[in-house]
Each structure stands twice: as C-alpha cells, then as structure tokens.
Structure 1
Amino acid sequence: MGKTQPSISAFATTAVVLLSLVSCGVPPTTALPQQSPTPTAACPSAGTEPQPSSCVAYDGNAAMAQNEMYRQRRKLSPEMQAQLDTHLDPAKEALNALVKPAAPANVEAAFASLNLKEVQTDDGGNGVRFGVAVPSGGCLYGVVPGEGEVTIQAGGGIMDGGCLEMFGH
C-alpha cells in the first residue's frame, strides 16, 4: 500500500489549534485602558440629582423653545419696518370692507386690489387667517374674523418661510 498525503485542510486545522494553545498561556504585556460607558440616551436634567452614566442631560424646556423657533419672525431694520407700516391702513380698510364672514378668495382679492399678490390664507372656521408678502420686504399678517374688526400687523417673515404661521407642525 502506498502512503497517503495529508490534505491542506488538515494542515490549516492543526495550525489554528496550535496557535490558540500557544496564545492562551501568554499574559498580556499591557493592561487595556478602562473606558467609560458611552451615553446611549438623552435624559432630561433632574436638578441636583446625579444622572446615570448612560445619559446625556438636556434641558427639556430649552429644547421645546428651540423646537418652536420656526414660528418666530425675522427682525426688520427700523427703516424697513417703517416702510412696511405704510401698508397697514390701506390693507385694513380693504379687509374691513369685505362682507362677513369672508372667504379666503375674498381676502386674496382684497390684497390683489392693493397690488399685493403673494397671499397665503387659512380658514380654520373662526375667520380667515392671512399672511401677505410685501414686494419691498416683510409681511402683513392677521385675521379677518367672522364678525368684528380685522386684526393686522406688519413684521418680518417667519423662520419656516413665508408670512403665515401654520399650526400643528
């Protein structure tokens, strides 16, 4: 009978077994540095109580205020505000002339008669809210109620874009 030759897989298996046996008995030359646990959650700050190491503390009230920033209006220079204010009386007069309750299309037509065409409206059932971009910059915004006087203000656009602040974002 002839001699059989060992297969390559037998050599590989033998090498792995020998390597693992040799490395098991060798102590590490340096200790591994202790790592602090990485935070895995955001936890609202609890005043003076210590936070678990798995938390990153945050101020919940500050986070909510930041979440509402899209509703804030941009600041205008005094000159720009003064120019924008000149549009208030004509716009209020045109809106007060509308038959109540006004429809969004009526509000848009009132502003179109003043050459203000970028109008956003929202009829939530309590009147028509509006936001109008003035070509020279800034916005007119307010509400035409089902009954009573129109309320209108002049100011910068909202951070979210446009002139009409939307609810429920």
Structure 2
Amino acid sequence: MGKTKPAPRTMATAAVVLLALSACGVPAASTHSGAPTPTAACPSAGTEPLPTNCVPYDGDAAMAANETYRQRGKLSSDVQAELNQHIAPAVEALQKLPRPATADTVTAAFNGLHLKEVQTDDGGTGVRFGVAVPSGGCLYGFVPDQGDVTVQAGGGIMDGGCLEMFGH
C-alpha cells in the first residue's frame, strides 16, 4: 500500500500548533538596558522581593475593583425623592402576593403599578427583583418565601439594569 498524504486542514492545524509552541518559554527580547521583560503578574504586599520577571499588583485591590460592576449609580436628591414615593405602593403590592411568590407573580405586581421593566431572579428562597422606574432609578429588593418584603430605591448598577446578579 502507498502512503497517504495528510489533509490540508490537518497540516494547517499542525503548523499553527508548532508556531504557538515555538513561542512558549522564549523570553521576549528586552528593548531597554538589559532588564528582563516582565512575563507574569505577581501578587505583592509590597514588602517581599519579587522575581525579575514579575509585575507586582495588589490582589486585594484587584478583587475589590472586580466588584465595582455591582455598585449603584448616584442619583440627584430630586430623583431619589421621587423614586422613594414608589416604595410604599411596591411593598403593598408585593405583600399581597401568595407565597411562595414566583418571578411571574412579582412581575405582574409591578406591571399592575405601571412598571414594565422588571428583572427577577428566583434563588429558591424567594424572588429578588430589580425594576426600572421611568422617571429614573430603580426599585430593588426581595420577596422571601416567608417573611417581610424588602424594597429599596437607588440608581442602576454599573453592569446595567437594576438587578445585580451574583457570581459574575
């Protein structure tokens, strides 16, 4: 039997893999007076010596910055005051819901208050919600399977919308 040639796609894939592997482990050429080019970021408290290939960073500060997407925007006192007027009607409508509430019943309660942009998250112990108010800002809170409803008013989150999601 004769030899078979590899398919062109196989050859292209092999070429890309070889090219990628040839770059691994080879330090980049330094463009300045013999100092090695950093190849890694290393957490540092600022007191310990670091390898020369590291760029130090504050791990705690990086983690705190990673959570900024959850922060709520600031509202003017006028917008906040107008937004606060929606809290009592929202609490009243949500307290009337049969328990355990569902995402659909929470959405329907807000639709009954003429608030249409509702985000919900049912985590198994109740329904979290975030609702955009047309005049500006958000209502957000929790309808637990048992107990009192909580409703707060504030700005939208930096990630967009009114309901902060956990775990992303």
TM-score (norm. length: structure 1): 0.79
Runs of 4+ in 1 over 4 A off after TM superposition: none
Kindly provide the amino acid, as one letter, of the partner of residue 62 in structure 1: A
Kindly provide the CA deviation profile for residues 8-60 of structure 1, in whole angstroms up to 9, marking residues without a partner as x: xxxxxxxxxxxxxxxxxxxxxxxxx7321111100011431122211100000
Aligned to 1:12: none
> CA separation in 1, counterparts of 2:85 and 2:99?
25
Which stretches in structure 1 are left out of the alignment for 5+ residues?
1-32
The count of corresponding residues between Structure 1 and Structure 2 is 137
Aligned to 1:15: none
| Residue 55, structure 1, aligned to residue 54, structure 2 | yes
Aligned to 1:163: 162
Kindly provide the amino acid, as one letter, of the partner of residue 86 in structure 2: H
Q: CA RMSD in A?
A: 1.1
Aligned to 1:129: 128
> CA separation in 2, counterparts of 1:42 and 1:80?
43
> CA separation in 2, counterparts of 1:121 and 1:48?
46
> CA separation in 1, counterparts of 2:123 and 2:81?
31
Kindly provide the amino acid, as one letter, of the partner of residue 79 in structure 2: M
What secondary structure does 1:152 align onto? strand
Query: Between Structure 1 and Structure 2, whose CA radius of gyration is higher?
Result: 1
What secondary structure does 2:159 align onto? coil
| Residue 103, structure 1, aligned to residue 82, structure 2 | no
Identity %: 72
Matches within 5 A, 1:1-169: 34-169=33-168
What secondary structure does 2:124 align onto? coil
What secondary structure does 1:105 align onto? helix
TM-score (norm. length: structure 2): 0.79
> CA separation in 1, counterparts of 2:97 and 2:120?
15
Aligned to 1:17: none
What secondary structure does 1:98 align onto? coil
